[in-house]
Amino acid sequence: MDLSSFEKIIKIKFNNQDLLQQALVHRSYLNENPDFHLKDNERLEFLGDAVLEMVVTEYIYQNYPNSEGELTNWRAALVNAKMLAKIAQRLSVNDYLFLSYGEAKDTGRARQYILADALEALIGAIYLDQGYEKVSQFIKRNILKELPQIIKQKLYQDPKSRFQEQAQDRVGITPAYEVLKEWGPDHAKSFIIGVYLEKELVAQGQGVSKQEAQERAAQAALEKKEWN
Domain boundaries, the chain: 4-152, 159-225
Taking the C-alpha atoms of residue 172 and residue 67, their distance in angstroms, rounded to an integer, is 29
What's the mean per-residue pLDDT of the chain?
Answer: 92
Options 45, 103, 117, 120, the catalytic residue: 120
Number of residues that this document lists for the chain: 228
Q: Give pLDDT tens digits for 29-61.
A: 898 888 999 999 999 999 999 999 999 999 999
Query: DSSP label at 134?
Result: H
Strand order in the sheet with 200-207: 176-183, 190-197, 200-207
Q: What percent of the chain has pLDDT over 70?
A: 97
Tell me the C-alpha distance between 138 and 218, whole Å: 34
Q: Where are the alpha helices (DSSP H) in 41-108?
A: 42-63, 68-79, 81-90, 101-105
- 120 classed as catalytic: yes
Q: Which CATH architecture has domain 4-152?
A: Orthogonal Bundle (1.10)
What is the pLDDT, as a whole number, of residue 73? 87
The whole-number pLDDT of residue 50 equals 96
CATH topology of domain 159-225: Double Stranded RNA Binding Domain (3.30.160)
Which residue is catalytic, options 40, 49, 103, 215?
49
| pLDDT, tens digit, 9 for 90 and up, residues 70-119 | 899 899 889 988 899 999 999 999 999 998 877 776 666 678 889 999 99
Q: Give whole-number Cα distances, 27 to 119, 145, 166, 205, in Å.
A: 15, 30, 43, 33
Active site includes 49?
yes
